[in-house]
Structure 1
Amino acid sequence: MIQIKDRPGCITVAEMRSHFETSINSTPVFKANTPLATVEVNGVFSHYADPNTDTMWLGFALGMRAAERVNAARAA
């Protein structure tokens, strides 16, 4: 199971999840077809229960982290 983890200097998992779930809930076709039930381990988010949702989440989160790196490189 691939997991996105918090890293120093990067957007947090909680913040990315908020953006991800907001985008799902604000797009009718995604809202109707993307279950957002989560799996927690020791009370902490691990992944989405639905494999398709989890795949979408991984792509979204990796894209956000990549955008951070691109923006940092442009600023340097």
Structure 2
Amino acid sequence: MFDIADKPGKMPKEAIRGFFERVVKETPALKASTPLGAMEVNGKFSHYMNPETDTMWLGFALGMRCAQRVSNAMPTEPQRPVQE
């Protein structure tokens, strides 16, 4: 089973999951067709019971991690044109 691992310097899985569930709950089409029943192992989130929801979750989480990498790679100050 594929899992989103927590690692130093990366957005925690629970934070990403909060964003995912908020998007689902606040989007009428998703809310109507995306069950959020979750499976827990040892009291911690493992995966969504519905396979389609779990696939959506994994794509969302990977996209959030990718966005974080892109954001971290961007310069902190805007690039200014070189003056001649």
Give TM class, smaller chain: over 0.9
Q: Which has the larger radius of gyration?
A: 2
Deviation at 1:26, TM superposition (A): 0.2
Query: Counterpart of 1:36 in 2: which secondary structure?
Result: coil
* 1:51 counterpart letter in structure 2: P
Higher helix share goes to which structure? Answer: 1
Runs of 4+ residues over 2 Å off in structure 1: none
Tell me the distance in 2 between the aligned counterparts of 1:20 and 1:2.
Answer: 17
Query: Counterpart of 2:11 in 1: which secondary structure?
Result: coil
Are 1:36 and 2:36 matched, yes or no?
yes
* 2:3 alignment partner in structure 1: 3
Tell me the distance in 1 between the aligned counterparts of 2:48 and 2:5.
Answer: 14
Count of aligned pairs: 76
* 2:58 counterpart letter in structure 1: L
The equivalences for 1:1-76 within 5 A come to 1-75=1-75
Query: Counterpart of 2:39 in 1: which secondary structure?
Result: strand
* 1:34 counterpart letter in structure 2: T
Residues 11-42 of structure 1: per-residue CA shift (max 9 Å, x gap): 11110010000000000010000000001111
Q: TM-score, normalised by structure 2?
A: 0.87
Q: TM-score, normalised by structure 1?
A: 0.96
Tell me the distance in 2 between the aligned counterparts of 1:5 and 1:35.
Answer: 23
Identity of aligned residues (%): 54
